[in-house]
Amino acid sequence: MTDNTNKWLEADVREIVAAQRRFFRSGATLPVRWRLKQLKRLKAAVLTHEKEFEEALAADLGRSRLEAYLCDIGPVITEINEMIAGLRRWARPERHFSGLMCFPSIITKVYKMPYGVSLVISPFNFPILLTIGVVAAAMAGGNTVVVKASSKSAACTEALKRFFAEVFPSEYITLIDGGHDVADICLAQRFDKIFYTGSPAVGRHVLAEAAKNLTPVALELGGETGNWCVIRKDADLRDAARKIAFFKLCNAGQVCININQIAVAEEVADAFLAELKKAFVTQIGEHPEENEEYPRLITASAYDKCARQADEYRERIVFGGVGNPETRRYSPTIIYPVGIDEDIVQHELFCPLLPVVPFRDAEVDALMETIAEREHPLAMYLFTKDMRWANRVMRAQQFGGGCINEVCVHMMVKGVPFNGTGHSGMGAYHGVWGFREFTHPQTVLRGSTRFNLSLREHPYSGKAGQKKMKLLKLFEK
């Protein structure tokens, strides 16, 4: 890209942001009735473009129609429905008693005010859900939105670009495509809110750029040292294997909350591995790399990285380990045994590789301590019948969200936040939490012009001061 093109792009993005700021300042996005109308328009458009989105997901990620709906399109519709149903209640100003210290100004309200012009940087792995779902939250909050979609999922980005241009004016919602250079041009502008979904490494860069303008940021990241799944010796091994196999097959492991590595009690390790292999074969067949229902890795470089990591552990691959570079499908691959300090379990994989770490069940608390010492994951999964232990772990460990004897479905529950902590992110969304993420709680006290007390006014000494002190202490009780 030439310097002239860069300068043109920068000027173009600057004008887009300026146009959206003018539109926001007009007050058009503030009425809740207007926002509801736009959300209903968004939902209708998603339903109209459903086939186009399915085709784009197939082109980019090799998704089957059912998986495209299960993981991207269906959840978007559910998310928008929840916002339409709840927005009037969420946006209602809160009324508070100001307290005797503020008498006679006894009424205070908290307004849920939009930030203004927001930037949404979306990823390649769930390009429809993690673009439209976040945009819907910003719309519910009354913001305008500039979307920077991923260049890796080119077909989906092109479909989304047409989609937004058809449904909304650019001064309200617009999508900008391009690579990292274009993302940096966007980050150089002064936005009022930034929402980024992606890797911790890029998240640091986004946060550093946002700091230059003191722009509030929400980061949804994958977790630097990966999401753990812990299987105790008392777990239902067949049930665990079935659920883990489904989840690891989903989007070929390219899921931010997917299981990055498994820790299994060595007392049941062989039995569990047998069940996991059986579950993979039952669900995807003996040659998943040839199965058209099995998604592909997003780029040739992603495929090569996966294959290269598998080759490093070739002698310990007990299942899978084969792929097709032409279709970019790499089979789910179990690597066993792996030590807890090996490199492969100390970074996010984002592919179908599944390292398995054995541990003695009696030493499970030491295992959890080691996990706790590493960067906070986005998800945690426990399989056990010992609910007292599981509940204690879930209350003590730091992670975004998780499940006991289940995988991933915690993110499908209405009314609860989806978020990370530390290296797995900051901020939260889904439903009311998305509305809160894109609004600023603005406190306004309504003053009274009658019966004002002089407590706060001088003099503070003498008899007058003594009386005021008595009253102040009385009011504070």
Active site residues: 220, 256
Tracing tokens 């300042």 back to the chain, one arrives at 25
Give backbone dihedrals phi and psi of 313, rounded to 5 degrees, phi first.
-115, 25
| C-alpha closest to that of 380 among 199, 230, 219, 225 | 230
**3-state SS, residue 312:** helix
Q: Are 140 and 30 in contact (CB under 8 A)?
A: no
Question: Does residue 114 have a cis bond before it (omega within 30 degrees)?
Answer: no
Name the amino acid, one letter, at 322.
V
Contact 467, 455 (CB under 8 A): no
Continuous segment of H or E residues that includes residue 97: strand 94-97
Reported as type and span, the H/E element at residue 24 is helix 3-25
* Alpha carbons within 13 A on the beta-carbon side of 419: 19
For the CA atoms of 294, 299, 305, 307, what is the dihedral angle to 10 degrees?
40
End-to-end CA distance of the chain: 67
- Cβ within 8 Å of residue 33, ≥6 positions away: none
Q: Where are the beta strands (DSSP E) in 293-375?
A: 317-319, 323-324, 329-330, 333-335, 353-359
Q: CA torsion sign, 68 to 71 to 74 to 77?
A: negative
> Given the DSSP bridges, would you call strands 379-383 and 401-404 parallel, antiparallel or unpaired?
parallel
Tokens 């209602």 correspond to what residue?
92
Q: In this structure, which amino acid lies at residue 236?
A: D
287, 297 contact by CB (below 8 A): no
Kind and range of the H or E run holding 465: helix 462-475
Q: Which of 17, 5, 52 is nearest to 170 (CA)?
A: 17
Give 217's strand partners.
194
Burial annotation 305-332 (CB, 10 A radius, 16+ → b, else e): bbbebbeebeeebebbbebeeebbbbbb
Paired tokens of 463 = 């008899």
How far apart are the C-alpha atoms of 115 and 103, rounded to whole Å? Answer: 31
Residue 128: DSSP 8-state: T
